[in-house]
């Protein structure tokens, strides 16, 4: 696929003629930003702009009720979302008893359980070292980032927990995708070829795998209709179409995974608490880290299979999203390459890799300086704070000088503030006893009474918040450190290391 920069060049080329050729040109341009984030190739972008695609209303007619709910395991029913220790204890027990430890995919060097043990030993060694934390009295809590994330279950939907897609619904979903695409069979052939692989009587893949992939497609389909102002259905259709040639099952699986990374992490309105927000943001980063291992593949086939194999081998140790299914052609996955062993991958995650980062900077379709620094220097407290600050900037209005246009989870100021307000009276809440002072700070700044009054009413809270004339209130690093320690993603150490 081409780089995003090339895609946007096509936008500039056609924008002048768009209003002449297409009656809904303004709507198309409004949708284009969402679509371009998928890494769609130039041919599809041009066809989208110059055809009737996106000019017709899209029928739904699909029962999405059960697909909008986040399944909750019985072990967590009634558990307080702010009880981090309890949630982590449950997550650790589930990880210990996971049946995935005994999975050994065809041609993989060893079971996922052995991969987990070798990677865990590396994590324990890195945790005892001072490679990223010198001069600090806190460090990344690797036992939570790498082993048992207490909030992962809130946003890591298991397709197996979703109801099967009835035959008539699957046909309706396919037809709705076809309806927004060109009516020509030639232009539809790749999209049809990919979706028909998942049919109930398809000869491709196993019945179980096709069933899980149908549920994933329906989940994506339903999510695109939750926000009528963001018609992601167009981008989803182009993503499922791929590079205009029908994919094998593993290639289609990768296309679906790309769409999940973008669509299922957009709306902060679905966040249940700040712990879930932190977990989602870090999980999105992990997904990008794994996906970029395609650089170790030689040619298009290996570039599809290498990151999928890495994802399966690292799923337990990094708490990655997605189902565990076998690969059709594992011979393309470079399974015996030392650089792709679980120990080397987890070391790259925590310590960084300049070559790995430089490749991302040169080849990635969507440049993200925060992600680049993470790939280069490793997953550190500084990176965690930078990822959270970026999520806040994504929620700024577009005219804000500090607004961030990169794709990913958004953390609106109001959501953070309301969460702190709701939990202010809890024991050990990160800002509980001093919340009233924080509230007066916010009120003073929002009412343009900044300065002496604000300083006097907040005391030491100015070290957590900062205001700028044209960008509003910003959370500073000490704020995030305190929050990350409370939710367990950072841990305090007795002495700087």
The model's pLDDT over 346-356, given as tens digits with 9 standing for 90+, comes to: 999 999 999 99
More confident residue, 363 or 166: 166
More confident residue, 251 or 433: 251
List, as one string, the DSSP characters of 448-480: T--SHHHHHHHGGGGGTEEEETTTEEEE-HHHH
**Percent of the chain surpassing pLDDT 90:** 15
More confident residue, 267 or 227: 227
Taking the CA atoms of residue 483, residue 487, residue 489 and residue 491 in that order, the dihedral angle to the nearest 10 degrees is 80
The whole-number pLDDT of residue 484 equals 93
92 lies in the same domain as 47:
no
426 lies in the same domain as 289:
yes
Last residue of a domain, one of 240, 263, 286: 263
Span 358-363, average pLDDT: 86
Considering only 259-273, 337-351, 393-407, which range has the smallest mean pLDDT?
A: 259-273
The whole-number pLDDT of residue 185 equals 46
240 part of a folded domain: yes
**Percent of the chain surpassing pLDDT 70:** 68
More confident residue, 474 or 460: 474
The whole-number pLDDT of residue 444 equals 58
Considering only 43-57, 178-192, 322-336, which range has the smallest mean pLDDT?
A: 43-57
More confident residue, 278 or 298: 278
268 part of a folded domain: no
400 lies in the same domain as 487:
yes
Which tokens belong to 149? Answer: 């994330």
Work out the burial of residue 186: count CB atoms within 10 Å of its CB; fewer than 13 is exposed, 13-18 middle, 19 or more buried: exposed
**Ranges assigned E (strand) in 311-375:** none
CA distance 457 to 146: 41
368 lies in the same domain as 248:
no
* CA dist 467 → 274, 397, 440, 476 (Å): 22, 16, 14, 10
The whole-number pLDDT of residue 7 equals 36
Give the strand pairing for 472-475 and 465-468. antiparallel
Which pLDDT band, with edges at 50, 70 and 90, does 207 fall under? Answer: confident
Q: Say yes or no to pLDDT of 343 above 90.
A: yes
Span 445-450, average pLDDT: 48
**Ranges assigned E (strand) in 12-111:** none
310 part of a folded domain: yes
126 lies in the same domain as 251:
no
The whole-number pLDDT of residue 451 equals 43
Considering only 43-47, 238-242, 339-343, which range has the smallest mean pLDDT?
A: 43-47
346 lies in the same domain as 401:
yes
> Around Cβ 321, how many Cβ atoms within 10 Å?
23
296 lies in the same domain as 364:
yes
403 lies in the same domain as 485:
yes
24 lies in the same domain as 119:
no
The whole-number pLDDT of residue 293 equals 93
> CB-hemisphere CA count at 13 Å for 232?
25
72 part of a folded domain: no
Q: Is 155 helix (H, G, I), strand (E, B) or coil?
A: coil
Q: Which residues contact 279 (CB under 8 A, 6 or more apart)?
A: 149, 150, 151, 152, 154, 155
- For the chain, what is the domain count? 2
> Around Cβ 326, how many Cβ atoms within 10 Å?
16
CA distance 201 to 210: 10
> Model confidence over 24-55: pLDDT tens digits?
444 544 455 444 444 444 455 555 554 444 44
Q: Say yes or no to pLDDT of 469 above 50.
A: yes
Which pLDDT band, with edges at 50, 70 and 90, does 385 fall under? Answer: very high
Which tokens belong to 480? Answer: 């995030």
Last residue of a domain, one of 224, 241, 263: 263
397 part of a folded domain: yes
The whole-number pLDDT of residue 344 equals 94
74 part of a folded domain: no
Which tokens belong to 67? Answer: 């697909």
241 lies in the same domain as 323:
no
CA distance 194 to 216: 14
Q: Say yes or no to pLDDT of 244 above 80.
A: no
The whole-number pLDDT of residue 227 equals 54
Residue-range definition of the domain harbouring residue 298: 86-157+276-497
Q: Say yes or no to pLDDT of 267 above 70.
A: no
Closest by CA position to 235, among listed 382, 432, 35: 35
Task: Provide the mean pLDDT of the chain.
Answer: 75
> Model confidence over 102-159: pLDDT tens digits?
888 888 888 889 999 999 998 888 876 654 445 568 889 988 998 889 988 887 767 7
Which tokens belong to 69? Answer: 């709910």
Last residue of a domain, one of 228, 263, 298: 263
Span 211-231, average pLDDT: 75
355 lies in the same domain as 452:
yes
Most confident range, picked from 80-94, 197-211, 399-413: 80-94
Q: Say yes or no to pLDDT of 378 above 90.
A: yes
| pTM, 2 dp | 0.78
Q: Say yes or no to pLDDT of 326 above 70.
A: yes
Which tokens belong to 138? Answer: 């806190």
The whole-number pLDDT of residue 19 equals 32
The whole-number pLDDT of residue 5 equals 32
CA distance 31 to 311: 31
Q: Say yes or no to pLDDT of 301 above 60.
A: yes
DSSP 206: -
398 lies in the same domain as 479:
yes
The whole-number pLDDT of residue 357 equals 92
The whole-number pLDDT of residue 349 equals 95
486 part of a folded domain: yes
136 part of a folded domain: yes
Which pLDDT band, with edges at 50, 70 and 90, does 229 fall under? Answer: very low
Q: Say yes or no to pLDDT of 467 above 80.
A: no
């Amino acid at each position: 696929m081409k780089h995003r920069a090339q895609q946007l060049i096509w936008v500039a080329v056609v924008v002048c003629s768009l209003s002449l050729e297409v009656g809904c040109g303004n709507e198309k341009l409004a949708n284009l930003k969402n679509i371009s984030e998928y890494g769609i190739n130039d041919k599809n972008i041009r066809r989208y702009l110059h055809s009737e695609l996106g000019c017709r209303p899209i029928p739904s007619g699909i029962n999405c009720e059960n697909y909008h709910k986040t399944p909750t395991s019985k072990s967590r029913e009634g558990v307080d979302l702010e009880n981090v220790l309890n949630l982590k204890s449950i997550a650790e027990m589930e990880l210990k008893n996971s049946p995935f430890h005994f999975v050994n995919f065809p041609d993989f060097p060893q079971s996922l359980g052995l991969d987990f043990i070798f990677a865990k030993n590396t994590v324990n060694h890195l945790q005892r070292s001072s490679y990223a934390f010198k001069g600090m009295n806190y460090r990344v809590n690797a036992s939570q980032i790498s082993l048992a994330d207490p909030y992962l279950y809130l946003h890591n939907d298991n397709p197996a927990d979703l109801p099967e897609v009835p035959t008539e619904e699957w046909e309706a979903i396919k037809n709705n995708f076809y309806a927004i695409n060109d009516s020509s069979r030639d232009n539809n052939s790749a999209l049809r070829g990919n979706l028909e692989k998942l049919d109930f009587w398809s000869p491709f893949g196993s019945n179980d795998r096709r069933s899980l992939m149908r549920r994933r497609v329906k989940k994506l389909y339903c999510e695109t209709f939750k926000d009528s102002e963001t018609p992601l259905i167009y981008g989803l259709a182009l993503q499922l179409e791929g590079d205009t040639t029908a994919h094998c099952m593993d290639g289609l699986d990768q296309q679906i995974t790309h769409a999940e990374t973008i669509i299922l992490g957009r709306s902060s309105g679905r966040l249940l608490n700040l712990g879930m927000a932190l977990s989602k943001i870090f999980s999105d980063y992990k997904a990008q880290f794994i996906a970029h291992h395609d650089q170790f593949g030689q040619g298009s086939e290996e570039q599809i299979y290498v990151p999928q194999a890495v994802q399966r081998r690292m799923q337990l140790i990094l708490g990655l999203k997605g189902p565990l299914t076998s690969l059709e052609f594992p011979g393309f996955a470079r399974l015996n390459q030392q650089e792709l062993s679980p120990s080397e991958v987890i070391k790259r995650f925590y310590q960084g890799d300049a070559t790995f980062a430089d490749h991302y900077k040169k080849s990635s379709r969507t440049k993200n300086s925060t992600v680049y620094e993470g790939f280069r220097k490793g997953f550190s407290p500084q990176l965690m704070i930078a990822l959270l600050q970026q999520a806040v900037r994504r929620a700024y209005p577009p005219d804000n000088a500090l607004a961030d246009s990169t794709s990913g989870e958004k953390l609106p100021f109001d959501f953070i503030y309301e969460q702190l307000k709701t939990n202010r009276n809890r024991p050990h809440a990160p800002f509980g006893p001093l919340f009233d002072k924080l509230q007066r700070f916010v009120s003073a700044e929002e009412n343009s009474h900044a300065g002496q009054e604000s300083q006097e009413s907040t005391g030491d809270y100015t070290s957590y918040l900062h205001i700028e004339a044209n960008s509003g209130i910003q959370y500073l690093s000490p704020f995030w450190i305190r929050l990350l320690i409370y939710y367990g993603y950072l841990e305090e150490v007795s002495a700087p290391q």
